[in-house]
Amino acid sequence: MCVIPRSNLCKPVPTLRRPFHRYHPIFLPSPRPSTAPSDHHIQRAGLTSGPLSLSPPLSLTNSRFPPARRQPTDSITQTIHALSQSSRPRPRIHFLISPSEPLPPPPTTPHPEALASPPKPPNSRPNAPSSGHTPDDIPVAPPNTPSTPHLPSSSWNVTGPPPPLLARDPDSDPTHIYGDNPQPGNSDTGSNNSEDGPPRTGPLLPSVGAGTGTARHPLRDFVSGTLDLLYYGPISMGTPAQTLTVDIDTGSADLWVPVNCRNCNGHQFDPARSSTYRNNNQGFAVTYGSGQVSGTLATEVVSIGGLTVESQAFGAVNQESRDFDGQPNDGLIGMAFGTIAQSRHPTFFENLIQARRLATPLFSVHLARNQATGSEICFGCYDSSKTAGGITWVPVKSKTYWSVGMDAVVVNKHAASTNIYAAIDTGTTLIYLPAQLAASVYALIPGAKKANQYGNGFYTYPCMSQPVISLSFNGKRFAINPYDFNLGRTSSQSMDCVGGILALDNGFASNLAIIGDEFLKSWYSTYDYANGVRVGFSPSVNNKS
């Protein structure tokens, strides 16, 4: 989701739901409307007023990724038509930008390594960059965990007293925390802040602690046709526990669920049934790129996969816009940094770290492709059974989003150089680039052209071209599966396909890209708070032949 600060850093991006930008909250200076956006607002957000009619992609046998089975459903028609039908599931934007923690200016020098050599064509799977290594220091997830996504796992309860808190010396400068970039303070080699030196522990970012807990928590994939719209899982709240489902979003930092909400669908949390519910009588409101929620701030016992926080701040939402109609999840949990939380409280994951509940202060995410089950989030662990290669670490540039440095987008053997931040966001379906960069990328695909008839930011390209596209983070390249990039043909007789990289509205931050599930389905991602704050990418088992 894209939460926009009270500054004019961002304007509402296309009101797309999950398959595009999922829930990125957008903070506006004026009061947020409590009902669904009007047609006028939808048009200003970049949506078409009518349905988009697309056909499934051509069956191309020479794809260098293994062929994926597509359902005989016009998924693109279903999905993009849903953008103008409030009663249908929509792609959303889950990207939050905090007014108090804006992104610092990007590094002044691009990474020349990104353009040093042309990318190797992928074989049966995207190859891990040569600098990748096996994460021997990360606990391996326990095997044979329950796969049912509707009930919380009881297999991973934390037992025994926690060990002493291991606080990091803010003045220390261990080179190993920078992973593959051993020169702290140099923007070209992976500084993790806007300032030189190792990252500081701020008031909303807990000190690194050591505990004993890990938990593999199953997620469910909400599939529409052949598009993966939403990844969500169960959460337990209250005493006794009540089970709801939440969307897992690394692009925002607030937890919210419906409470006494008259216009909300699905399950709601009932505070009258809980002895530990506390209402703080403070307002809570978030405006997303595709909807708004509001209510009050409260605290409650929250548990996921047997890992529990006794007093977790959350939004008790009593009003949702109609954008949330038809979604299978009840609420949302933000997994970005608490510095951008609208509640101004630590996130659930940061509280687990503070309470020393985790063996390692990290979490990992596997997103399955076109199947209801099989996705998971792994708290305090790395599930090697979901990967097909070693892990490559990329330093985080700002403790707001999980943002890394992007220095190029490579199309076949040609690169569109850039120098921006890329927010890794499980809450966004597709990939969004600044408008100028998106134009440069599609200029490298012969025959590609703008397709604003489908909404602002869309492009089409010749289906037969099958471009191999890679993103370069901090000089390391990661390929996008062509199956995910190709959203479908514009009609059953057309040879043009719609591309899965969209241009951000010109009012959005010009130095920011949003990297969603279109990319993450090919790369198992690990989000590490301890070692300099970094994101790791491993080739996903999704791409095995």
395-to-306, 335, 406, 410 alpha-carbon distances in Å: 30, 17, 11, 20
Catalytic: which of 247, 249, 325, 330? 249
DSSP states of 492-517: TT--EEEESEEEPPTTS-TTEEEE-H
Asked if 407 is an active-site residue, the reply is: no
Q: Are 66 and 124 in contact (CB under 8 A)?
A: yes
Secondary structure (H, E, C), 383-452: CHHHECCCEEEEEEEEECCEEEEEEEEEECCEEEEEEEEEEECCCECCEEECHHHHHHHHHCCCCCEECH
Tokens of 115: 């353009």
Tokens of 152: 């919380």
The CA dihedral of 83, 85, 89, 94, to the nearest 10 degrees, is 40
Distance (Å, whole) CA 536 – CA 528: 8
Catalytic: which of 325, 383, 407, 425? 425
One fold for both 39-131+387-543 and 205-384? Answer: yes
The 10s digit of each residue's pLDDT in 365-402 is 999 999 889 999 999 999 999 999 999 999 999 899 99
Distance (Å, whole) CA 151 – CA 413: 47
Give the model's pLDDT for residue 519: 98
Over the Cα atoms of the chain, what is R_g? Answer: 21
Give the model's pLDDT for residue 431: 96
**CATH code 2.40.70.10 for 39-131+387-543:** yes
Give the model's pLDDT for residue 146: 34
Give the model's pLDDT for residue 388: 94
Q: Are 423 and 2 in contact (CB under 8 A)?
A: no
273-to-270, 276, 277, 324 alpha-carbon distances in Å: 6, 9, 9, 25
Q: Are 488 and 56 in contact (CB under 8 A)?
A: yes
The 10s digit of each residue's pLDDT in 317-346 is 999 988 888 889 999 999 999 999 999 999
Give the model's pLDDT for residue 296: 98
Give the model's pLDDT for residue 93: 52
What are the backbone angles phi and psi of residue 269, rounded to the nearest 5°? Answer: -80, 135
Which H or E run includes 43? helix 39-44
Which residues, given as ranges, of the chain have pLDDT below 70?
Answer: 1-211, 289, 506-507, 545
SS3 state at 460: strand
List of E strands, 225-341: 227-237, 242-249, 255-258, 278-288, 291-304, 307-320, 331-334
Closest CA to 93 of 489, 423, 470, 495: 423
Q: Is the dihedral of CA 185, 191, 193, 198 positive or negative?
A: negative
Distance (Å, whole) CA 175 – CA 184: 7
CATH, range 205-384 = 2.40.70.10
Distance (Å, whole) CA 496 – CA 349: 43
Give the model's pLDDT for residue 532: 85
Give 522's DSSP letter. Answer: T
Domain edges within the chain: 39-131+387-543, 205-384
Q: Is the dihedral of CA 101, 102, 103, 108 positive or negative?
A: negative
Closest CA to 247 of 160, 309, 324: 324
Residue identified by tokens 């704050």 is: 533
Distance (Å, whole) CA 528 – CA 138: 10
Asked if 270 is an active-site residue, the reply is: no
Q: Are 306 and 267 in contact (CB under 8 A)?
A: no
Distance (Å, whole) CA 291 – CA 305: 29
pTM exceeding the 0.75 threshold for the entire prediction: no
Burial of 99 (C-beta count, 10 Å sphere; 0-12/13-18/19+): middle
